[in-house]
Amino acid sequence: MKIDCITLFPEMFTPLEHSIIGRARKNGLIDFRTIFLRDFAINDYGQVDDAPYGGEPGMVLRPEPLAKAIRSTGVRQNKGTVIYLTADGTPFTHQIAKELSQKEHLVLVCGHYKGIDERIRESEIDMEISIGDFVVSGGELPAMVLTDAVGRLLEGALGNKESGETDSFAQGVLGWPVYTRPEIFEGKKVPEVLLSGHHQRISEWKKAESLKRTQERRPDIFSKLKIDTKFGSN
């Protein structure tokens, strides 16, 4: 998979050189690169933004640099997808991450200041994605979140494929509680069923705990459960 990220702050993306995504890049599963928006500035001063029409405070990224930067990636020729990270976009979900992991080329546009000119949203952007009902200083952090969520779903990115299949949301519900050694920590014991070696009972416990956690913490998800999963059904 090829991921191009258009940004004013390419130095922010060093975390993607490490951990699972870092290994995926080294193994050739992800070709990730940053594209510096100021390389497409409208003048020698590196200008890429301007004051908004209508008199409101703040600055808006101009359409000319953005259009040139997006088109420089060859995304249209590659039949890729251009994504704008914005607080007023579609909420990002595991299902969207799965769908994007099937793409060959993604271009991520990191907004800044008051955002990007609406004409670019109309002519160049295929998807608009939000990582939550809050505002951060720019699209760089959301772009890293999206890259990590999508990249770990690629074949070979995780050491154990089943590990990803049992994560929260992978089967439409939250994950169950997990435990490791020691068996007793500060007087608190691991649930006996997990020590029993009885695979059916363990599976039933995981299913029940997963559904319980989903009902308690995400009633919006629990109320919509209609199908059986590895973890259960309503």
Res. 107: pLDDT tops 50: yes
Rounded to two decimals, the pTM is 0.89
Res. 88: pLDDT tops 90: yes
Instruction: Please give the CATH number for the structural domain made up of 2-151.
Output: 3.40.1280.10
3-state secondary structure 66-78: HHHHHHHCCCCCC
CA distances from 230 to 194, 196, 218 (A): 17, 20, 18
Pairing of strands 127-130, 81-91: parallel
Q: What is the mean pLDDT of residues 211-224?
A: 93
Q: What is the pLDDT of residue 71?
A: 98
* Prior bond of 57 cis (ω within 30°): no
| Architecture, CATH, for domain 167-222 | Orthogonal Bundle (1.10)
Q: What is the pLDDT of residue 164?
A: 55
3-state secondary structure 146-185: HHHHHHCCCCCCCCCHHHHHCCCCCCCCCCCCCCCCCCEE
Domain boundaries, the chain: 2-151, 167-222
Q: What is the pLDDT of residue 225?
A: 86
Q: What is the pLDDT of residue 234?
A: 38
Distance CA 120, CA 127 (A): 12
Q: What is the pLDDT of residue 140?
A: 98
Q: What is the mean pLDDT of residues 91-100?
A: 96
Q: What is the mean pLDDT of residues 12-19?
A: 97
Q: What is the mean pLDDT of residues 61-69?
A: 98
Residue pLDDT, tens place only, 154-204: 999 997 655 556 666 677 889 899 999 999 999 999 999 999 999 999 999
Query: Same fold for the domain at 2-151 and the one at 167-222?
Result: no
Residue 109's CB is within 10 A of a number of other CB atoms, namely 27
Q: What is the mean pLDDT of residues 1-15?
A: 98
Contact 41, 13 (CB under 8 A): no
Q: What is the pLDDT of residue 167?
A: 62
Res. 52: pLDDT tops 70: yes
Q: What is the pLDDT of residue 232?
A: 44
Residues of the chain with pLDDT > 90, as a percent, come to: 86
Res. 226: pLDDT tops 60: yes
Contact 187, 181 (CB under 8 A): no
